[in-house]
Homo-oligomer: A and B are copies of this chain.
Amino acid sequence: MPDQPAVSTPQPASAIPWADQLCEAIRQRNSAVCVGLDPRTQQLPISLAPPAGADNAAIAECYRRFSEGIIDAVADLVPVVKPQAAFFEQLGPAGTVALAQVIDHAIDAGLLVVLDAKRNDIGTTAEAYAAAYLGRTSPWHSDALTVSPYLGDDSLDPFVDACDRSAAGIFVLVKTSNPGGRFLQDRRADGEAIYQTVAKWVTQANASRLGRFGYGPVGAVVGATYPEQLAELRAAMPGTLILIPGFGAQGGAAADVAAGFDSRGLGAIVNNSRNILFAYQRPEFAETYGPARWQDAARQATVEMNQQLNEIRSSGG
């Protein structure tokens, strides 16, 4: 059985705005890598694989141990981790209890936490999501949250207000990494694509909220799989932090994400989930590390991704 829920310790509120916290952490670690925490039952190393017929509580315990092991392996190498809520929610309530434990473990390890949950709703319901997930004093303790814009500008406002109150951040879906992202996001109305409409709103929301690195709390998700739009959006949203998914397993490479950075090598974090989490299964690591050394493999994969990104970051974006 998992631990009882709601045993997490209260977290102190930060007085430092989220964007400044993230930029400072990127500088301190010399890393723009975000490690995505996407546990998958079929890919867990043998020592953490749930036995056949294990119930969701037992699998959730495996997810927790695996995610915490990854955190321990990379905590000094990266500024931020991004737990994926879906994989934990897939295990029912026991999974969400594990998710909260993983978030707290990351915080204890000195990491910032972006919860990837793509939430949104309207009015007081959006306020409830914002209160749930934004900031260290929120019940889930996460620093930032991914948010979907389909419901419109007034659905995003409560999240921005909560960012102001809680030194927190959001990343609004602008241009996602999947092929179907074009279905709505690329449609052009009055000469402007939908993703550009969202980008304009994000830019405006940040305008009065820029911190000491020139970035505001309202970030944008822009996939590594669309390098041209990434360059365009970097230019169009100068005060906006960009969360770039799609690196690695989805096909994005270092050259594809170069345009996401500013001339100081700031302004973006690049997420990698599978190629770090399950590095022990990658052909180039399998022989050296093997399943028992899955943490070492994850660490080495992170070191290498840092090197790849730092080369393009130091070239001036």
Contact = CB atoms under 8 A, between A and B. Distances in A.
Contacts of A129: 86, 89-90
Contacts of A125: 38, 84, 86-87
A36 to B, nearest CB: 10
Given A40-B124, A118-B151, A148-B151, 20 more contacts: A1-B6, A2-B6, A6-B57, A8-B92, A84-B125, A86-B126, A89-B132, A90-B129, A91-B139, A92-B132, A122-B180, A123-B178, A149-B183, A151-B178, A151-B180, A151-B181, A152-B185, A153-B180, A184-B184, A194-B194
Interface string A118-138: 111111111011011100000
Interface residues of A, number: 70
Contacts of A94: 5-6
Contact of A128 (B90, B140, B154, B181): B90
20 contacts: A5-B5, A6-B57, A6-B92, A8-B92, A8-B93, A56-B139, A86-B119, A89-B140, A92-B139, A93-B139, A122-B177, A122-B181, A148-B148, A151-B173, A154-B183, A155-B176, A155-B178, A184-B198, A187-B187, A194-B194
Contacts of A122: 176-178, 180-181
A197 interface: yes
A201 to B, nearest CB: 8
Interface stretch (A68-76, A95-103, A255-263, A275-283): A95-103
